[in-house]
Amino acid sequence: MSELCDLYLREGCPTKKASTLATDRGRIDRHIKPMIGTKRVSTVKRGDIQWLMRQIADGKTQAG
């Protein structure tokens, strides 16, 4: 997941405004990478994303 996030930031955002890209980068760095970044994309299931969304909604993050 971490590599996919890096690819998205590097190549998937050419038309995004700088402020939107900064928001995306912050969410990736604070939530996605620390919490599910080590998972292989092929193993990520709907439940993993639902868990991640609940954790974020509850104000939890693993960024330190």
- Confidence at residue 45, expressed as pLDDT on a 0 to 100 scale: 97
C-alpha 44/C-alpha 26 separation (Å) is 21
Residue recorded with tokens 């092929």: 42
* Helix, strand, coil % in the chain, rounded to nearest 5: 70, 0, 30
Tokens of 14: 């050419």
**6 is a domain residue:** yes
pLDDT in tens, 23-44: 999 999 999 999 999 999 999 9
Question: What is the tally of structural domains in the chain?
Answer: 1
For residue 26, being part of any structural domain is answered with: yes
Q: Predicted confidence band at 62 (pLDDT cuts at 50, 70, 90)? A: low
Residue with tokens 């990478």: 33
Domain coverage including residue 28: 2-57
Q: What one-letter code names the amino acid at 43?
A: T
For residue 63, name the pLDDT band (cuts at 50, 70, 90).
low
64 in any annotated domain: no
- pTM of the predicted protein model: 0.83
Mean pLDDT of 5-17: 93
Q: Is residue 63 part of a domain?
A: no
Q: Give dist(CA 26, CA 49) in Å, integer.
A: 17
